[in-house]
Amino acid sequence: MLIRRMASPMLAMPRFAKRVLALSVDASLCVLTVWLAFYLRLGEWVALSGSAFLAVVVSLILALPIFIVSGFYRAIFRYSGWPALVTVTKAAVVYGLLYAALFTAIGVTGIPRTVGIIQPILLLMFVGASRAFARVWLGDLYQSQMQRAARPKVLIYGAGSAGRQLASAMANSHELRAVGFLDDDFRLHGSVVNGLRIYSPADLSALVISLGVTDVLLAMPTASRYRRNEILSQMLAAQVSVRTLPSMMDLAQGKVSTSDLRELDIEDLLGREAVTPNHILLSKNIAGKVVLVTGAGGSIGSELCRQIVQLAPASLLLVEQSEFALYDLHQELSNKLAVLDHAGISLVPLLASVRDAERMQEIMSTWKPYTVYHAAAYKHVPMVEHNPAEGIKNNVLGTLTAALAAAEQGVSEFVLISTDKAVRPTNIMGASKRLAEMVLQSLSAEPALRFTTRFSMVRFGNVLDSSGSVVPKFRQQIKDGGPITLTHADVTRYFMTIPEAAQLVIQAGAMAKGGDVFVLDMGQPVRIHDLARRMIELTGLSVRDENDPQGDIAITITGLRPGEKLYEELLIGDNPEKTVHPRIMKAHEEFLPWPLLTEKLAALRLALEVNDVAVVRLMLQQLVSGYEPSGEIVDWVHMEQESSVDLASAAY
């Protein structure tokens, strides 16, 4: 143990001192091996004087220069493995030839000739053994210190309890090395905690250079997102990567560890402070009831299912037309139920299209769901613009099919997941979603139908990290080294986290009286160019533009895609009504009476069957208030047919 404790001071010595020490050890070994060589030859110990002293002097004069030239002392403690043994052997051979040539071949009076052979062999063994000992004694500790020094250096923002626990955990981390704290409390600046100095956040840029800092770890689990935004704004100029600890709720069980760290996601910046959900509203239409979710494998549908299983329904029916998405979700929820110990919940994965009336009737008549959340839809604007007939069939006729099946089977609650693109749409997707809303409004308002089902719809904007959204796309482009592609410098969108949106959908549906159009409060819209820039800067990189031509990631403007709007809206009118929930409003918007809408939908269905896109767009303009197509028809089939006609005409 004493030898082990001596290792650290040894490694801490200056390089010159280490070289002098190693040289002294080798010189001592030269003296020792000459003395041993005489003993092995004569069978008795001799005094190192006279001729024996000459043998020692010659050994030192020959060995040390050869060892120096061979590079024994360039890297003292790294040079102790197999390469070191090879180097020692080569140097010892050269030394042995010269030493043996003098004392064995030529001979010196008073020195036995065999000493010229025995001593070089002993020297090779002893020097080799010394290097092996150095490797055993110092090698592991040296490698550990080298690896520690090579680890990315980080500062911990927050010298509180979480920060101190994180620093302690990082003492044994093989990934990161803490070199100090940042804290807002000026009274702590200059203090030392756990061997780490506390600095002012204002000094971050200088610390990045002086300490070689690459990352900042936010150890402020109780800080609000607003406060995190302020901190991030201070750190952007320093060009460091930022990671964070989860919330205190996530850390309530157990101590803080480095595995708790995660990349500071964009939702930490765009997401608002969560409003405590109303558990009465959450459970009202779910707890102990049969619940069906269409489009269960999608971004919103899958999150709805995750929220629903926590509310203990009797059964959850997963309706999805994508086999892989359904399988993946079913596996995830099955594992989740095992953890929650909700063995009584029946989880039923059902392959089905909402456009298949027989299949939807079959499912609903078999399980008699109490609540249906209709999330099945085609939502990608350019994709639907290029395939308008399929988009309308799925979004409008699929909604009508699912709604009629639900009504005929006595479903109590039917909630449609809608979109802000339904407001004054410029694209087929938005127009189809508004028409789907009108279908439910009209069904709900028609007394002759005598349906007991309460139809409602919940309208909101983009959700972070949904399939096809800009956030995962930008994240991948940054990982690939850029550029980030942006359709227009002034595009703005509303954003909300997927879990918040799903919770609000469930609570809004629980307030429905029939025909309600609920609108979620999305906060302030976000400029997508600013979002892209912030995502680049959060990774510690810089934006390549006119102000910084040498930046890391460029932002390229590609032009608006078919049907894309610069700005999105949530309300058609300006008369939203407040509800009992601060984040949920109710809109009052016009719709066609059911008999008239039925006729219009029948005509629309005929136009869709023959893929007459021009007529379809004209009918949508007549049906959907504010729908103004933003460009020419870009349906792939239509354009290919037009191209074929033009080629045929040219041939004549």
Report the catalytic residues: 421
Strands 495-496 and 462-463, how do they pair?
Answer: parallel
CA distance 24 to 30: 10
Measure CA 143 to chain center: 31
Helix (H, G, I), strand (E, B) or coil at 462: strand
In 440-561, DSSP assigns E strands to 454-460, 462-463, 484-486, 492-493, 495-496, 516-520, 526-527, 543-544, 553-557
Cis status, amide bond into 483, omega within 30 of 0: yes
Residues 6 or more apart whose CB falls under 8 angstroms from that of 519 comprise 458, 459, 460, 570, 571, 576, 584, 585, 586, 587
Question: Which of 401, 425, 397 lies closest to 414, judged by CA?
Answer: 401
First to last CA, the chain: 98
The full DSSP string for 614-630 is: HHHHHHHHHHSTT----
Name the residue type at position 108.
V
Q: Nearest CA to 121 among 22, 36, 16? A: 36
Lookup result for tokens 């952007």: 236
Token code pair at residue 24: 């002294």
Tell me if 605 sits within 8 A of 402, measured CB to CB. Answer: no
Long-range contacts of 29-34 (CB under 8 A, 24+ apart): 29/123, 29/126, 29/127, 29/130, 30/56, 30/59, 30/60, 30/63, 30/64, 30/123, 31/56, 31/59, 31/60, 32/126, 33/59, 33/119, 33/122, 33/123, 33/126, 34/59, 34/115, 34/119
81 phi, psi to nearest 5 deg: -110, -150
Q: Are 571 and 423 in contact (CB under 8 A)?
A: yes
Q: Are 123 and 152 in contact (CB under 8 A)?
A: no
How far from 405 is each of 372, 400, 428, 437, 592, CA to CA, in Å? Answer: 11, 9, 25, 17, 21
Closest by CA to 354, choosing from 405, 316, 418, 388, is 405
* Residue whose token pair is 């080294």: 481
β 177-182/192-193 pair status: unpaired
Report the distance separating Cα 166 and Cα 217, nearest Å.
9
Beta carbons within 10 angstroms of residue 254's beta carbon: 7
Phi then psi for residue 459, to 5 deg, are -110, 130
**Rounded distance, CA 118 to CA 235, Å?**
68
Instruction: With beta carbons less than 8 A apart as the criterion, state whether 240 and 206 touch.
Output: no
User: What phi, psi does 434 have (nearest 5°)?
Assistant: -65, -40
